[in-house]
Amino acid sequence: MTPVRKGLLAARRPRRVAVLACISAATLAAALLPGHAVEASTQGSAQTVTATVVAGTLTVAAPPALATNLTPGQTNSGIALGSLVYTNTLNDGSSWSVTATSNDWTSLVGGNIPFSGMSIAAGGTINGAVGSTGTPSAGAGGALTGTDTTPGTTQSNPVTLATGTSSVQGVYTQTGSTISVTVPGGTATGVYTGSITYTITG
């Protein structure tokens, strides 16, 4: 019986070797063939993340209107202009500015408050939102000047409210800006209209 058992065991061994050889060859081929390796690599728990930083933008937002009472024959100082919110995330390597202009304020009865009698003081408080890099510098403001070719339409030359270097990027709120308005004596009483324009340039 013993020799028979030896013969059976000896006969099974080469069959196993052949089967193992085929399995090994098939595994090797499967691993090397393109496509299979990619599928195997997706079996893990790692999550592929694709994040795109979108292009930046340039914005400015201001209160839609100014309402105040003025006294004729004197300078009305410290009229609050409200908060100004502006954004520069262009990251274009350029410095940028926020400026303001005004035209003459006129009334329906012919009254005129010239912009040459106005001056703007830039608010000294500029706060950056979370994520902002750097802080713009408050501008010097100043008196409004320019050639008033068409009173009530012509805008003054711009005065600077804030300037930012190219590395200053983010969303900022500037508060504390004011306008002073000198109303000539004898100016007619009534409601006046005009426009103040804020511009961000980047």
Partner 1 sequence: MLALALPWLVTSAAAQATAPEYGVRAGLGGNTTLAHNHFSYALPPGGATLHDSVVVSNFTDAPLSFAVHGADMVGAQGGGFAPAAEGVAAKLVGSWLAVSRPAITVPPHQELSDAFTLVVPAAQLPGEYLGAVVVARSGGGAAQGIQVLTRAALTVDVTVLGRVDLHAAAGPLTASQQRNEVHFTVPVSNRGNVLFTFTGVVTVRDGSGRVAATLPVTPANLYVIPGGHATVTAVWRGAPWWGSADAVATIQARVAGGAQATVRSDPLHLGFFPWAVVVAALAGVAAALIALVVLSRRRGFRPAVT
Q: Using only C-alpha atoms, what is the Rg of the chain?
A: 38
Report the residue from 84, 104, 126, 182 that binds partner 1 according to the rule CB under 8 A.
84
156: number of Cβ within 10 Å: 23
Binding mask 121-160 for partner 1 (x = CB under 8 A): -x----------------xxxxx-x-------xxxxxxxx
CB 65 within 8 A of CB 50: no
Residue 190 found at the interface with partner 1 (CB under 8 A): yes
* CB contact at 8 A, 174 and 61: no
The pair of three-digit structure tokens given for residue 125, joined into one six-digit string? 């408080």
**For tokens 């103040």, what's the residue?**
196
Contact 102, 156 (CB under 8 A): yes
CB of 43 to partner 1, least distance (A): 20
Could you say whether residue 118 binds partner 1 (CB under 8 A)? no
Largest separation between any pair of C-alpha atoms in the chain: 136
Among 75, 80, 128, 151, binds partner 1 (CB under 8 A): 80
- Residue choice 41, 47, 48, 69 for contact with partner 1 (CB under 8 A): 69
Residues numbered 26 to 65 that lie near partner 1 (CB under 8 A) are 26, 28-29, 32-35, 53-65
- Contact flag: residue 110 with partner 1 (CB under 8 A): no
